[in-house]
Structure 1
């Protein structure tokens, strides 16, 4: 925030605190924490879009009690809260509570979506056979959720430091920003590893047809994958790609600093965060894992043993394959 005006000179700390705690319209010569005033229409639109996605996933969770629906619902809720904060900021651009409300929630929202992806992949491995993956189904959640949690803690520490400094006149936000960047880069590195494992999974399933080597040959007529699984894997790939693009944007944005070009131009945020995350979450409203994965179990039950249908992501959490590594 610029702490001077042409008319009155430098602001005192008391004046800065008053601006940050109240609701004041834009004052010429005094920048907001964003570097602009968030657009009211964008805030309302994204609240509505994420709200609709939240409703769909929540209804599915109530109906079927699957963890994917819960994870996606929480992710959508977090986005709604974040965009509500930006809507608040459009009316009160200097309010620090509104700024913190949006920055904290929108940073962590993708974590809930990736958690859902880990559950989906684990459940698919249980159905297609252990030979379809390098890691066992349970290990995806253990390894990558741990990485996500560590990354979020790092980002939270950095964000708190940067926020504290931004409240001060001439405060230095760079150390906190660098810590936030480190957290995002760590999360991206984990995502790269997960992406490589997903690609290897797709290779084993579609190229090597690893599921034909297991008892799951009766998976479908003609020993081919159910189309529902193919559609679900396509949705996973789309969602993962969107989140990865968003992470690259966020990393570059923070590397430029709080006064950098990307962070001070709202259009990039709308396109590379808001719209990207709508696709990442809403794709599972249209290609719902509850129907495409667990909904197929009744159709395929005659060729599966029931204990193998209770894989990762099922409410009972039974029947997980504890083997950790399978080499190709």
Structure 2
């Protein structure tokens, strides 16, 4: 093992970790502000994920300073890998409320009363499998099992997100071809279709990120992607930052209106 790089197969960038922690931290702070000011508590998973991502790059900076520290390495790895599962939970909850808002449950392949339950349960399963796999990979005796568990968790996440993308596209197509889609009142700067496009775009970006992570973990710790830091920043850091920032602009409560959000929340819990 290279004593200069410790656990890493390269010299991790201190500047990259500082910049990433800074921009994710600014975004996370703004998400907290928006969620509290607008009482949009269904944004809690995304907000927690944004805070975790910030912590992940703080851990990465500390890990780069002490590359032989196993604890810091595990911390940065888990806090960077897991947040997209939390982003997904908010995306699923927004979709359920959106279907209720436009009053078109029949246009959705899965009814809004079941959307959150089905997809969030799948998301929770993927989250814990990735977390468990990441913990096992840190132990030499369980590294292979941990890698397999992590990959299964990522495949579960990919399956549910891909299924969600299909459901969302079908819903969008049906509403575009229905007079009902043109009769929905606009409460803010953006329409329901703009919010749905945001969810679709975020889903595509997270799916691509998930594919990158599957290939990376499939190659192993000493694989080409894992041994070149630039790819993590290109195909994980930047895409996840884009997703976080996108959700600052088209905010669900501005689309739904406060009353519609409360009604949607009650109905999607039914």
Q: TM-score, normalised by structure 1?
A: 0.75
Deviation at 1:243, TM superposition (A): 0.7
1:319 aligns with 2:267: yes
Deviations 1:55-100 (A, max 9, x none): 1111112112213432221111010011111111221111111111
Partner of 1:319: helix, strand, or coil?
helix
- Using a 3 Å threshold, how does the CA distance of structure 1 residues 155 and 321 change in structure 2: closer, same or farther? closer
* RMSD of aligned Cα (Å): 2.2
Q: Choose the corresponding residue for 1:67, options 38, 41, 58.
A: 41
1:110 aligns with 2:79: no
For 1:64-143, list aligned pairs within 5 A: 64-129=38-103, 130-143=105-118
For 1:137-216, list aligned pairs within 5 A: 137-165=112-140, 171=141, 173-206=143-176, 208-209=177-178, 211=180
What is residue 3 of structure 2 aligned with on the other side? 27
- Using a 3 Å threshold, how does the CA distance of structure 1 residues 205 and 278 change in structure 2: closer, same or farther? same
Question: In terms of Rg, which structure is larger?
Answer: 1
Q: Is the 8 A contact 1:69 1:290 kept in 2?
A: no
Question: What runs of 5+ residues in structure 1 fail to find an aligned partner?
Answer: 3-25, 166-170, 298-307, 323-328
Q: Choose the corresponding residue for 1:243, options 195, 206, 220.
A: 206
Deviation at 1:319, TM superposition (A): 3.4
Q: Is the 8 A contact 1:174 1:257 kept in 2?
A: no
1:231 aligns with 2:194: yes
Deviations 1:273-326 (A, max 9, x none): 10010011110112222323336x6xxxxxxxxxx66344xxxx323485xxxx
How many pairs does the alignment contain?
267
Deviation at 1:43, TM superposition (A): 0.7
Greater alpha carbon shift after TM alignment, 72-81 vs 153-162: 153-162
- Using a 3 Å threshold, how does the CA distance of structure 1 residues 219 and 152 change in structure 2: closer, same or farther? closer
Deviation at 1:50, TM superposition (A): 0.9
Deviation at 1:227, TM superposition (A): 4.5
Question: What runs of 5+ residues in structure 2 fail to find an aligned partner?
Answer: none
Partner of 1:173: helix, strand, or coil?
helix
